[in-house]
Amino acid sequence: MGLALAMGASSCSTGNSLYRGNRPNRSSRHLPRINISPDRIIKETVGLRPYRLSGPRLDVQQLGQKTIIHNYGHGGSGFSLSWGTGHIAATNAAASGESQIAIMGCGVIGLTTARQLQEKGKQVTIYAKELWPRITSSLATGTWSPAHLVCEPDRITPEFKSTWEKTCLFSFQAYQNLLGLGDMVTWIDHYIIGDRVHKETPALQIKGLLPDPVELSKKQHPFRASYVINQPSMMFNIPVYLQKLTNDFLNFGGKIVIREFKSLEEVDALPEKCVVNCIGLGARSLFNDEELMPISGQLSFLIPQAEIKYRLSTPHGYIIPRKDGLVLGGNAIRNNWDTNPDPKQTEIMMAAVNEVISQMRS
Ligand SMILES: Cc1cc2nc3c(=O)[nH]c(=O)nc-3n(C[C@H](O)[C@H](O)[C@H](O)COP(=O)(O)OP(=O)(O)OC[C@H]3O[C@@H](n4cnc5c(N)ncnc54)[C@H](O)[C@@H]3O)c2cc1C
pLDDT at 65: 85
Contacts of 100 (CB under 8 A, 6+ apart): 122, 123, 124, 125, 271, 272, 273, 274
What pLDDT, on a 0 to 100 scale, did the predictor assign at position 38? 96
79, 261, 318, best to mutate for ligand 1 pocket (most atoms within 8 Å of CB) = 79
CB atoms within 10 A of CB 315: 13
Distance 298 CA to ligand 1 centre (A): 14
SS (H, E, C) 56-104: CECCEEEECCEEEEECECEHHHHHHHHHHHHHHHHHHHHCCCCCEEEEE
State if pTM tops 0.85. Answer: yes
Domain residue spans in the chain? Answer: 32-204+211-358
Please work out whether the CB of residue 47 comes within 6 Å of at least one atom of ligand 1: yes
**Amino acid identity, position 119:** E
Residue 201: the pLDDT is 55
Give the per-residue pLDDT at 195. 63
CA of 143 to the centre of ligand 1 (A): 14
The dihedral of CA 91, 92, 98, 99: what is its sign?
negative
- pLDDT at residue 359 in the model: 87
Ligand 1 site-directed mutation target among 131, 137, 345, most atoms within 8 Å of CB: 137
Q: pLDDT tens per residue, the chain (362 residues)? A: 543 443 333 333 444 444 444 454 555 678 999 999 999 999 999 999 999 999 999 999 999 889 999 999 999 999 999 999 999 999 999 999 999 999 999 999 999 999 999 999 999 999 999 999 999 999 999 999 999 999 999 999 999 999 999 999 999 999 999 999 999 999 999 999 986 455 555 789 898 899 988 999 888 899 988 899 999 999 999 999 999 999 999 999 999 999 999 999 999 999 999 999 999 999 999 999 999 999 999 999 999 999 999 999 998 999 999 999 999 999 999 999 999 999 999 999 999 999 999 988 87
Ligand 1 and 50: CB distance under 6 A: yes
> Residue 305's beta-bridge partner residues?
none
- What region does 183 belong to: left with phi over 0, alpha with psi -120 to 50, or beta? alpha
Task: Decide whether any atom of ligand 1 lies within 6 Å of the 135 Cβ.
Answer: yes
The pLDDT score that the predictor gives to residue 338 is 98
d(CA 150, CA 196) in angstroms, rounded, equals: 17
The pLDDT of residue 144: 97
Tell how many helices (H) and how many strands (E) occur in the chain: 8, 16
Predicted confidence at residue 280, as pLDDT, reads: 98
CA 76/CA 307 separation, integer angstroms = 28
Which CATH number does the domain 32-204+211-358 belong to among 3.40.50.20, 3.40.50.300, 3.40.50.720, 3.30.420.40? Answer: 3.40.50.720
Q: How far apart are CA 14 and CA 115, in angstroms?
A: 17
pLDDT of residue 30: 83
**CA-based R_g, the chain, Å:** 20
| Residue ranges in the chain assigned as alpha helix (H) | 2-6, 78-94, 108-119, 158-176, 238-251, 264-268, 283-286, 343-358
Pocket lining: 139 vs ligand 1, CB cutoff 6 Å: yes
Q: Return the SS3 of 317.
A: strand
Residues in contact with 74: Cβ distance below 8 Å, sequence separation at least 6, in sequence order:
50, 52, 56, 81, 82, 85, 109, 150, 280
Query: What pLDDT is stored for residue 26 in this prediction?
Result: 54
Is 198 within 8 Å of 213 (Cβ atoms)?
Answer: no
Collect all residues with Cβ–Cβ distance below 8 Å to 202 and sequence separation of at least 6. Answer: none
